[in-house]
Amino acid sequence: MSSLAALGRSPADQAGCTEAPVLRERGQREVFCGLTGIIWLHRKIQDAFFLVVGSRTCAHLIQSAAGVMIFAEPRFATAIIDERDLAGLADANDELDRVVGQLLARRPDIRLLFLVGSCPSEVIKLDLSRAAQRLNRTHSPDVRVLNYSGSGIETTFTQGEDACLASLVPEMPASVTSAPALLVVGALAEVVEDQMRRLFAALGIGPVAFLPPRRARELPAVGPNTRMLLAQPFLADTARALEARGAVHLPAPFPLGAEGTTGWLRAAAGAWGIPADRSRAVTEAGEQRARIVLDRHREALAGRRIFFFPDSQLEIPLARFLARELGMRPVEIGTPYLHRAHLAAELPLLPRDVLLSEGQDVDRQLDRCRAEKPDLVVCGLGLANPLEAEGFATKWSIELVFTPIQGYEQAGDLAELFARPLVRRQKLRV
């Protein structure tokens, strides 16, 4: 039984928000730093290292966000810009070369080094692109040096991953075959990636590659034969770079919940001409398992009103999942950027009466949130504590990126992330 039938929606509702007006706001924003993406990316690319060129504040941010113990050996660090660099008493490029040399001598396992720009390095106009080219000449072929910006001045925090993956695209080899190949784009936890590989194999889809790969020298080939399936909705620059090299985007809902995962897999199955009955046979068991687990959280979530502040760009697929599979009622779905081509399969599945907003004027949005009095607010860390103090239950949007939430087996974990603050609040009232 489809989730549309399960929720008693009429066929007319399938238009969803495809043609709905969007409230576009351009004002003061609450954003989190794009450097945060390093926390999940450094776990994914196992022989890469992320060297942030920034301040002590950048170092404290990453260390705090990662929760790394002092004796750990993480694959990231900060080359700190200090007063001597800012005053021009030291050559920042010479200092950077020295730090990179020390790092590579200490960590000979590094095969890919990212120089990650920050607000401080961009303010002092340190050209990390040219630095990466210079360091490549010194350290190649043993180590490839790339650069991207993790600055939070103009971007939201998930765009750090987008910038990182976009920097990898020029390094991908050109495909030399005409046979179709599937490229899954977006960092997924290894357990999720393994699950997806098994499902694609059962469907008869292949070869399948993932970007980013687990090893830096395993970058997949790309070309006109490449069919691209996005695993995350915040990869606009990466998708554009892949399309420029010939890859074809497969429109699909994102793999959140039972319905989203099935739609995502079937988009690939359709591109490979897999018969519908075979596709159903492969996805039916996983979808059923996910629905059984989701039913456990329905009592806590059904009928509850939820308000999304723009933060991660996951807001629209999350709202679709919560509304259609758990019966929640989105009041406003705010997103930093609304990419209609990438969300074409999501927008028709949203409730027709929800307000969509793009960008942010934080004071106005706070006023709308207070007026609506939602049961749960999804927002960034900067707004969560003040809203909790006002009596709102909140969910940190960054937790939805740190946690494996894609696929059938993780659907229950995703639902629990939203149920937990409501259950906790209920227990505190007893």
Binding-site annotation: residue ranges for [4Fe-4S] cluster = 33, 58, 119
For residues 303, 304, 305 and 311, what is the CA-based torsion angle, rounded to 10 degrees?
Answer: -130
Order of strands across the sheet with 226-230?
Answer: 208-211, 181-185, 226-230, 248-249
Cis geometry, peptide bond prior to residue 253 (ω within 30 degrees of 0): no
Q: How far is CA 99 from CA 57, 71, 103, 140, 232, in A?
A: 18, 20, 6, 17, 34
Six token digits for residue 111: 């095969």
Could you tell me the end-to-end alpha-carbon distance of the chain, in angstroms, rounded to an integer? 37
DSSP label at 207?
-
Q: Decide if 110 contacts 145 (C-beta within 8 A).
A: no
Note every long-range contact of 138-144, with CB atoms under 8 Å and residues 24 or more positions apart, other chains counting: 138/97, 139/100, 139/104, 139/113, 142/111, 143/104, 143/110, 143/111, 143/112, 143/113, 144/111, 144/112, 144/113, 144/171, 144/216
Give the CA angle between residues 35, 311, 331 to the nearest 5°.
Answer: 170
Pairing of strands 144-149, 112-117: parallel
Give the CA angle between residues 286, 290, 292 to the nearest 5°.
Answer: 120
Pairing of strands 355-360, 329-335: parallel
List residues forming the annotated binding site: 33, 58, 119
**How large is the C-alpha radius of gyration of the chain?**
22
Cα(31)–Cα(152) distance, integer angstroms: 7
Q: Decide if 396 contacts 318 (C-beta within 8 A).
A: no
